[in-house]
Chain A
């Protein structure tokens, strides 16, 4: 959400006019301090926190997928052992 034209100044740079409002902490930001992510303006601190949180979330997701793969492969291994053994017994 832009707030250009209003008589407000950046929380970090007193001589720079306000450009946007941080959607994380409601701090007034200049153009340099504001970064858009997914179309929403954030300050550096809030952006950093979002990055860490999404990083943690994607790590958890990766481990979850890996755990699922281990479970599925383990199940398939047991089946292949059973049926491979049964076929071998018939052949021998």
Chain B
């Protein structure tokens, strides 16, 4: 990790290096565990959009769909916990960790689950305000990065840890904005890649892709939602790694460990 007070670009560079380090196999595992959640979220939003103002008459149906979203979200939370642990171990050992990344810890995992459910309550319950959603996303990232420090079952302590992590809130705001732009870019890249793929199959290989061409347009709301799900999936590992790097740097600055490590590096370089 780069030393001194972090800038957004330092953080993003360190996050990208970290993801590269732990990519095999933890990136694939994260995507595998997050994919059902993202697809169910897209399906839920698609149903809401289809029902429109009549949505409140289908409360029971939407509740069943929401239960599926919740169950897949819990699976996704486990994936995030394992990936974050792999990132933390990767930062310490400078290589991709082994099976020890699966050992999330019962108490830390249980604390993380309840904290995340509370944050989801804020996210979904406050969705119509448009302000609650970005706040909940920032809190979710910090909750993932700080869950390992929860050694007792507590409702308050995880949020105290998150509050402490907001010390450099400007840095958090700036890299969150960068990731939001990354999601938008990923969305258009995925759309272009899919349409290019369909075009190649149709025009070069000669397969009849007329049905798929009609589906893969931005006029199709389900296609747009599933593309958005894919874009979030693509960016999420880097976002989680950035949160882990940010929290680790903050802890090292608070404890003075960064100066100790810097001194050790200087001494190692000076020695013949």
Contacts and interface: CB of A to CB of B under 8 A. Distances in A.
Do these two chains really belong together in a complex? yes
Given A66-B110, A77-B70, A81-B124, A86 B59 contact: yes
A69 interface: yes
B66 A78 contact: yes
B128 A88 contact: yes
Interface residues of B, number: 30
Interface stretch (B46-54, B79-87, B168-176, B195-203): B46-54
Interface string A16-34: 0000000000000000000
Chain A residues touching B, majority SS: helix
Interface in B48-68: 48-49, 51-53, 55-56, 59, 62-63, 66-67
B67 A85 contact: no
Interface residues of A, number: 23
A66 B59 CA distance: 28
Given A66-B110, A81-B44, A81-B69, A86 B124 contact: no
Nearest to A90: B53
B25 to A, nearest CB: 29
A79 B113 CA distance: 18
Chain B residues touching A, majority SS: helix
A80 B66 CA distance: 9
Nearest to A72: B117
B110 to A, nearest CB: 6
Interface of B: 44-45, 48-49, 51-53, 55-56, 59, 62-63, 66-67, 69-70, 110, 113-114, 117-118, 120-121, 124-128, 153, 155
